[in-house]
Structure 1
Amino acid sequence: MKKYKSSILLSFILLLIWEGIARYINAMYILPSPTKIIEKTFKLRKVLFLVHLPATLSVTLIGLFISIILGVSLAIAMSLNEKIERAIYPIMVVTQTIPVTALAPIFVLWFGYSIWSKVIVTTLITFFPITVNVYDGLRSTRTDMEELLVTYGASKKDIFIKLKIPYALPYFFSSLKIAVPISVIGAAISEWLGAQCGLGYFSKRMMTQLDGAGVFAPILVLSLAAVILVAIINILENKIINWRNEI
């Protein structure tokens, strides 16, 4: 808690400034105050946490799972074969230049309002940081350590499992910390553009009613969900990479 003390203090100051500006403007539909947003979230807690949050989390977690499988597989393939890297990497970059807001309606036309139209959007914007970071991690292995293992008779499989994977693990967890907030954003955007439930859909519905606090309430829930997911990843990272502090 102590290491986050300054962050908590800064957040509190910013919220106070926001509260003061919102009260001065006094226009709830334009800029609701943090206290009004919290009140609205509490008032809508059942529909937000029991109906729309599970829908958004389903899209987020399924999209993340597919992104991890796809991203790690591509990273391994590129690290093992330079020709694959030259063929795949430019295509991956191109996929990141296409606006999500342009693709989401197309996926809705293809898959309807099912969960898969939203999962594809989430996967599309999250697999890239996972792929690039894991690929960089696999390439970061020290050459002298590889040569040492070779002199001891280690095979390429042994080098990959016992050296390259441990070196890539910190990069993998770093990529997850990037991908999780992006996946939450991607799920919300896809729901905003075409869905029948979810926090993004609910936020859009509140906007049509000019309910400023109602628009921000699901955003607050989204932020809390992202923070919790990143905290879980931090815990897993500290448990799995416990050898890092000993180096």
Structure 2
Amino acid sequence: MTFFTKSWRSLLALLLLFIFWEIIVKVLEVPQWLLPSPAKIFQEAALHWSEFSVHLISTLRLSLTGFAIGTVIGLLTAILLFLIPILKDTLYPLLILSQNIPTIVLAPLLVIWFGFGVLPKMIVITLVCFFPVTVAALDGFKQTPVELKDYLAMAGANKSQLFWKLEFPSSLPAIFSGLKISATYSVMGAVISEWLGAKEGIGVYMTLASSSFRTDRVFVAIFAIMILSLLFFAIIMVIERFVIRWKTKGDDSV
């Protein structure tokens, strides 16, 4: 049984949550500005979809671009650190330290250094996306079966052939795990980057809604972020199943 055939349970649980939420709001007569009902949130999304879709497309474009850049940088970094051990010993601790800086604190500095254009936004998204890919790829490279490496070495394979014909293919399951994490992070990174002074995007929409106490619109933005993150995750999972058929065939029964 695959992930997608199991997802109906999660959908059922989500539906029950919405029903419970709707009942609680009605019974307790919670003010809409404090906690809107799911019906009110979906109604707001439907009535003002044309307005919100502009922000949604802007965030989607930022997320995809930042994710692509972060993925490339993450893979290149992992390959360099793995093939050149002295670089790993020198730079890997610095990479870990870079993830300990809160993005919300770093964002204003990026505006000061690079202005209000696209560059600081791309930097924010790249920073949150590249690290999971780098760590996952490095772990995947190290998990290559030793007996296969010895076999190729005895067959006369050089270091480059050993990496591209064995170590890199063997690391694909780990790399895709990192990609799934980065894909979900890219949406939140895009929203945070839009707080830097963008003209459109879910982050801008959420800020304007919060400042005007339009809680229903805030929840519309939250639901959109969740749906985009799940959609990205599902797309990466589908690509993984096509690329790594030798692994996913065994996982279908799980």
The TM-score, its normalising length taken from structure 2, stands at 0.91
Change (3 A) 1:144 1:99: same
Q: How does 1:7-156 map to 2 (within 5 A)?
A: 7-23=10-26, 24-49=28-53, 51-156=54-159
Give the conservation status (yes or no) of the 8 Å contact 1:41–1:218: no
Q: Distance in 2 between matches of 1:205 and 1:246?
A: 47
Give the conservation status (yes or no) of the 8 Å contact 2:116–2:196: no
One-letter amino acid of the structure 1 residue matched with residue 64 of structure 2: L
Structure 1: segments with no counterpart, 5+ residues: none
Shift of 1:2: 2.8
One-letter amino acid of the structure 1 residue matched with residue 188 of structure 2: I
Of 174, 188, 191, which aligns to 1:188?
191
Provide the identity percentage: 35
**2:172 alignment counterpart:** 169
Shift of 1:25: 4.6
Q: Distance in 1 between matches of 2:249 and 2:103?
A: 42
| RMSD over equivalenced CA pairs, Å | 1.6
Shift of 1:150: 1.2
Give the conservation status (yes or no) of the 8 Å contact 2:133–2:179: yes
Q: Distance in 2 between matches of 1:77 and 1:128?
A: 14
Shift of 1:22: 2.8
Shift of 1:112: 2.7
Q: Distance in 2 between matches of 1:230 and 1:246?
A: 19
One-letter amino acid of the structure 1 residue matched with residue 169 of structure 2: P
Shift of 1:16: 2.1
Q: Distance in 2 between matches of 1:190 and 1:19?
A: 33
Q: Tell me the SS of whatever aligns to 1:243.
A: helix
One-letter amino acid of the structure 1 residue matched with residue 51 of structure 2: V
Change (3 A) 1:62 1:17: same
The number of residues matched between the two structures is: 246
Q: Distance in 2 between matches of 1:21 and 1:73?
A: 51
Residue 212 of structure 2 corresponds to residue 200 of structure 1: no
Q: Distance in 2 between matches of 1:20 and 1:192?
A: 34
Q: Distance in 2 between matches of 1:22 and 1:193?
A: 34
Q: Distance in 2 between matches of 1:196 and 1:119?
A: 15
Q: Distance in 2 between matches of 1:64 and 1:121?
A: 11
The TM-score, its normalising length taken from structure 1, stands at 0.94
Shift of 1:19: 2.1
Give the conservation status (yes or no) of the 8 Å contact 2:195–2:204: yes
One-letter amino acid of the structure 2 residue matched with residue 189 of structure 1: I
Q: How does 1:205-216 map to 2 (within 5 A)?
A: 205-216=208-219
Spell out, residue by residue over 1:98-127, the C-alpha distance to the aligned partner (whole angstroms, 9 max, x if none): 111111122222333322221111111111
